[in-house]
């Protein structure tokens, strides 16, 4: 079974951040509050699906789908 990423979430779906699959991007995401164990919820998507808006660590965070695909989750 392949691991799911934040990019796979549906609007309103919640999950817990498990790890990252890109070492360089993980540093940027950690600085933005995307910590392993934090709950994340997909708030909305732009009309063409990119970028997306997440609720994480108590605030809204917008990012590209390619960045969200590097955040591995568990339900």
Residue 1 has pLDDT above 60, yes or no: no
Q: Which domain holds residue 43?
A: 4-74
Instruction: Write down the H helix ranges in the chain.
Output: 23-31, 65-68
Strands 71-74 and 4-5: antiparallel
Assess contact for 12 and 74: CB atoms under 8 A: no
Q: What are the tens digits of pLDDT across the range 21-73? A: 998 999 999 988 899 999 999 999 999 989 999 999 889 999 999 999 999 99
Residues 59 and 47: their CA atoms lie apart, in Å, by 21
Domain CATH number, residue 32: 2.30.30.90
**Number of domains within the chain:** 1
Phi, psi of 72 (to 5 degrees): -85, 140
> Closest Cα to residue 39, out of 4, 3, 74, 2?
74
pTM for the full model?
0.89
């Amino acid at each position: 079974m392949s691991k799911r990423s934040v990019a796979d979430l549906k609007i309103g779906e919640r999950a817990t951040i498990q790890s990252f699959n890109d070492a360089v991007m993980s540093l940027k995401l950690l600085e933005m509050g995307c910590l392993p164990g934090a709950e994340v919820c997909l708030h909305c998507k732009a009309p063409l699906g990119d970028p997306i808006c997440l609720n994480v660590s108590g605030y809204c965070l917008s990012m590209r789908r390619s960045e969200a695909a590097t955040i591995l989750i568990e339900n």
